[in-house]
Amino acid sequence: MHRSCTARGTAAAIALLIAGAAQAAGDDHNTTGLPSYPHDEHRKMDAVARQLPNGQHCTHYSSSTKDALASVIDWYKKALPNARTEDVNKDSLYGNYFKLEGVKLLVGNDIVNVYRTPDMHMPYVKKEDLNKTSIELFKCQDAPEPK
């Protein structure tokens, strides 16, 4: 009995190590083809495409940085010189619950959101996250539905 418990424990530990290595290798790698900000951290690449409220099917990569919002916006405007710039709150994916500070860059069907959460009381957001610039890249395969 002791031998089978040890074998199961070893197998579980190996499975956790393999899963951890796969997660570490996959979660932080931007596969959208859109540029990653050079100083980003807390990277997350969704495993599967998601459908946005406007009907687009997109792969999604998100990250954040301690760099100032204006610096990150300037970097993305240079990296995507043909992008159309809009207020991140226009047709927001996040609804009208709160106003974000930032921009939405549109390149064809693709979307790059660069924003900061305004300093306001939000119990579900950590205080240290309020001071970070958030970056979301949406690589979309189909056009949005006509309005």
Residues 57, 114, 133, 38: what is their CA dihedral angle, to the nearest 10 degrees?
A: 90
What is the pTM assigned to this prediction?
Answer: 0.71
Q: Name the residue with higher pLDDT: 105 or 9.
A: 105
26 and 39 in one domain? no
- Range(s) of the domain holding residue 22: 1-30
Domains in the chain: how many in total? Answer: 2
115 and 58 in one domain? yes
pLDDT of residue 91: 76
81 and 18 in one domain? no
| Residue 19 resides in a domain | yes
Residues 19, 22, 28, 34: what is their CA dihedral angle, to the nearest 10 degrees?
A: -140
93 and 39 in one domain? yes
DSSP state of 141: S
DSSP bridge pairs for 58: 50, 140
123 and 105 in one domain? yes
Tens digit of each residue's pLDDT (9 = 90 or more) over 5-15: 433 333 333 33
51 and 15 in one domain? no
92 and 67 in one domain? yes
